[in-house]
Homo-oligomer: A and B are copies of this chain.
Amino acid sequence: MAEFALIDRLRQRATATVLARGDVALGIGDDAALLDPPKGRQLALAVDTLVEGVHFPKGVPASAIGWKALAVNLSDLAAMGAEPAAALLALTLPSDDAGFVDEFAAGFSALADTHRVALVGGDTTRGPLAVSVTVVGYVPKGDALTRSGAAADDDLWITGTLGDAAGALALWKAGTPMLRTGSLRERLDRPSPRLGAGCALRGLATACIDVSDGFLADLGHLLAMSGVGADIDVDTLPVSAALLDAFPDLSTRRALQLSGGDDYELCFTAPAKKREAVLAALDAAATPVARVGRITVGASLRLFDLDGLPVALPPRRGYVHFSGETA
């Protein structure tokens, strides 16, 4: 297999999307791709790498790796309130494995087509399995959501449910049969970036971040960038039926929700007076959302239970990918 075989496969799959978009003046195959951004839009740019053994265990299906490598990047665009336009893929593969390549391309393309993302660049190299994706999105000028706008008394919200992917990983590590981890495992392997929700939150959210390293870790980034603190009602953190079923023990489940990674939900803040508007916007975007706390003056992050009693912060707040350890 030559260097271009995978890229050719992906290009063929992407042709319909490229043609349908209208903003791709030149796709894969030259020294660079050419894109015509719409007027009045800012470009949102992000890059994220997945490495086997660090971001996903050995044995994950190739289609899930293809899907997830794009998903984690689209989640960054969602957190900015941007709509995705194009992606560039740098793939490092240990060997010429046509089956792997076909499955990878199928997974990547399935998500790309869903969100009309045009693959406009790619580079394949030989080496230990790693995927680096760069995404380009558009957002109306001045409307982007950032991490830095949260203000005291804002509501704190979270989309979807927390802890499912971390739960799936824990079950997998414990040797639990796939049959029993089904819907949780799907959250780990094929996360759904909250793109509709991100766009719907423009003009409503004061700050936003996607939850990739764990709820407390990413909330910490948002609070630090905004220069505020937060009080969290831990019992209101949204939980899936599957997680409840698989982890009946409260403290185990809570740890997964607070510190587990790979949720790819949006954590955002909005003024309390926008509460109804937030609910309506996310209902229109078909995205479940839960109000889980409020922003406070200062830098403290505090947890409370249903009775208003303080809950200790877990010692581990999230996963630091680089070191492979939690921090």
* Residues of A near any B CB (own CB < 8 A): 1-3, 25-26, 29-37, 39, 42-49, 51, 53-55, 76-77, 79-80, 82, 86, 88-90, 92, 96, 120-128, 130, 132, 134-137, 139, 141, 144, 146-148, 208-210, 225, 320-324, 327
Contact = CB atoms under 8 A, between A and B. Distances in A.
A113 to B, nearest CB: 20
B125 A55 contact: yes
B35 A43 contact: yes
A125 B130 contact: yes
Given A48-B123, A121-B46, A139-B34, A2 B320 contact: yes
Given A51-B125, A55-B125, A46 B33 contact: yes
A144 B34 contact: yes
Contacts of A322: 1-3, 124-126
B35 A42 contact: yes
Contacts of A209: 31
Given A47-B88, A126-B323, A79 B3 contact: no
A49 B126 contact: no
A146 B323 CA distance: 42
Contacts of A31: 46, 76-77, 79-80, 147, 208-210
A52 to B, nearest CB: 8
A47 B127 contact: no
A54 B126 contact: yes
A141 B137 CA distance: 19
A32 B79 contact: yes
A34 B30 contact: no
B32 A37 contact: no
A146 B26 contact: yes
Contact of A132 (B37, B90, B139, B208): B90
A324 B44 CA distance: 35
A136 to B, nearest CB: 7
A48 B43 CA distance: 21
A324 to B, nearest CB: 6
A36 B141 CA distance: 8
A322 to B, nearest CB: 4
Nearest to A141: B36
B2 A327 contact: yes
Rank and list the top 5 A-B pairs by shortest CB-CB distance, nearest first: A3-B322, A31-B79, A32-B46, A134-B134, A90-B132
A132 B49 contact: yes
B146 A76 contact: no
Given A30-B147, A80-B32, A141-B36, A47 B134 contact: yes
Contact of A130 (B30, B35, B46, B92): B92
Contacts of A122: 47
A84 to B, nearest CB: 10
